[in-house]
Amino acid sequence: MKTAVFSARRYDQTLLARANAAHGHELVFLQDRLEAGTAQLAAGCQAVAAFVNDDLGGVVLEKLAELGVRFVTTRSTGFNHIDVAAARALGLTVARVADYSPYSVAEFAVGLLQAVNRKIARASMRTREGNFELDGLMGVDLHGKTVGVIGTGKIGVLFARIMAGFGCQILGSDVHRNPDFDALGGRYVERTELFAASDVISLHCPLTEATRYLVNAQSLALAKPGCILVNTSRGGLVDTEAAIAALKSGRLRGLAIDVYEQEASLFFQDLSSTIITDDVIQRLVSFPNVIVTGHQAFFTEEAIGQIMQTTIENLSAFAAGDDLGERLVA
Ligand code: NAD
């Protein structure tokens, strides 16, 4: 199937081409982010392979459908960037990668937590400058602390298991109970109790209308003073302005984020030679107790290999009229 691959970085091109060798789809690699102004680049293609910051809202989907695109597959598990209702109305089939190494994200979340808690990135920058002082680098033991996990699905439960290994008490909040979470000794509580009792809060639920801004001024007011917040899930879960206020007041001891609500115009590109006009992210990165990474939690050899393989398999399944199972979004 002729497929427009949007937001295609070098690694996408190499690994998708490798996964495609046994399938023979015609892949058109486009570095551009998919949005209303670039949708036209999919002309002549029956399918589109998109990424997390591509715009798959109603307007773009309509343009794609007009161009003859019939299938959209996203190189991610999350599909909050896709207007599913609009896709259905337009008769577009949409698929995702339902499953890939959840270890990639869970392990990265632990790394981010320790990077901000023990100020590892800061210490590394100091030693490069020949500064071996310890002032300003003190952290806390995680052993004995309470860790709140919001979203106890595949990634959340792995994160919880690692934190249980550190000797932490684990609290969870989810709309569904996961027996694996109970089995590792986690205790489900209401979200308000989780905020009040947790020394660390880590977000692992999808971005939906119910979860948008679940971390906001009200929930942060309930948070245990000195709490560290980790977000490797989706930027829209956190009201960034409220998080900045909580950092200023000291309510948050630290913030570690791999995702940011306005990341679409920033992440996955080198902007180091340009003026970044987003004052919020600039403010965030100026805090000594904040660490920001550019949506890289999934970026391991294992996870990427699975994402590329499944993306190609999705194309083949659609072309053959096969059942996409839990990979089917619309
Ligand atoms: P999953 O579907 O296995 O788990 C998500 C959990 O969130 C489920 O248990 C679900 O019941 C729960 N949930 C849904 N609505 C909720 C609510 N209102 N309150 C509390 N919990 C709720 O998904 P997963 O594979 O563990 O992935 C979790 C999230 O991680 C994804 O949605 C995605 O946004 C994010 N993610 C980020 C990266 C990255 O690179 N940073 C990579 C992959 C996934």
Pocket test residue of 100, 110, 155 for ligand 1, highest count of atoms within 8 A of CB: 155
Q: Per-10-residue mean pLDDT for the chain, 330 residues long?
A: 97 96 98 97 98 96 98 96 97 96 98 98 97 97 98 98 98 98 98 98 97 98 98 98 98 98 94 96 96 97 96 98 96
Q: Domain spans of the chain?
A: 2-100+300-327, 102-292
Please report the pLDDT score of residue 297 as a whole number.
Answer: 98
From 100, 122, 120, 99, select the one nearest 111 (Cα to Cα). Answer: 120
Residue owning the nearest CA to atom 19 of ligand 1? 174
Q: How far is the CA of 152 from the centre of ligand 1 (A)?
A: 8
- Is any atom of ligand 1 closer than 6 Å to the C-beta of 73? no
Q: So which residues are the catalytic ones?
A: 234, 263, 295
Q: Please give the model's pTM, rounded to 2 decimal places.
A: 0.94
> Could you tell me which of 227, 201, 198, 226 has the C-alpha nearest to residue 214?
201
- Residue 158: what are its φ and ψ, rounded to 5°? -70, -40
Q: Comparing C-alpha atoms, which of 81, 130, 102, 115 is closest to residue 235? A: 81
DSSP E strand stretches across the chain: 2-5, 26-29, 47-50, 71-74, 93-95, 146-150, 169-173, 187-188, 200-203, 227-231, 252-257, 290-292
Comparing 2-100+300-327 with 102-292, is the CATH topology the same? yes
What is the distance between the alpha carbons of residues 87 and 92, in angstroms, rounded to a whole number?
Answer: 5
Q: Which residues pair with 202 in a beta bridge?
A: 149, 230
Q: Which residue has the tokens 């809060």?
A: 201
| Rounded distance between C-alpha atoms, residue 234 and residue 257, angstroms | 9
For residue 254, the model assigns a pLDDT of 98
pLDDT digits 0-9 by tens, 62-111: 999 999 999 999 999 999 999 999 999 999 999 999 989 999 999 999 99
* pLDDT tens digits, one per residue of 166-195: 999 999 999 999 999 999 999 999 999 999
**How far does the centroid of ligand 1 lie from the alpha carbon of residue 204, in Å?**
5
Q: Can you identify the CATH homologous superfamily of domain 2-100+300-327? A: NAD(P)-binding Rossmann-like Domain (3.40.50.720)
Pair type for strands 93-95 and 187-188: unpaired
Residue 128 Cβ < 6 Å to ligand 1: no
Which run of H or of E encompasses 70? none
Q: How far is the CA of 205 from the centre of ligand 1 (A)?
A: 3
| pLDDT for res 67 | 98
Give residue 120's pLDDT. Answer: 97
Q: Half-sphere exposure of residue 15, counting CA atoms within 13 Å on the CB side?
A: 19
Q: Out of 52, 74, 76, 77, give the residue to mutate to test ligand 1, the one with the largest number of ligand atoms within 8 Å of its CB.
A: 77
Can you tell me the ipTM of this complex? 0.99
Q: Is 81 in the pocket of ligand 1 (CB under 6 A)?
A: no
| Number of the ligand 1 atom closest to the C-alpha atom of 205 | 7
| Closest listed residue to residue 236, CA positions, set 257, 222, 252 | 257
Kindly give the number of the ligand 1 atom that is closest to the alpha carbon of 178: 9
- The correct answer on CATH 3.40.50.720 for the domain covering 102-292 is yes
Tokens of 27: 């892949």
The two three-digit tokens of residue 135, written as one number: 């002032």
Q: How far apart are CA 159 and CA 165, in angstroms?
A: 10
**Nearest alpha carbon, ligand 1 atom 37:** 233
Radius of gyration of the chain (CA): 21
Task: Using the atom order of ligand 1, give the atom closest to the CA of residue 206.
Answer: 32
What pLDDT, on the 0 to 100 scale, is given for residue 35?
Answer: 97
Burial track 59-79 (b if 16+ CB lie within 10 A, e otherwise): ebbbbbbebebbbbbbbbbeb
158 alpha carbon to ligand 1 midpoint, in Å?
Answer: 12
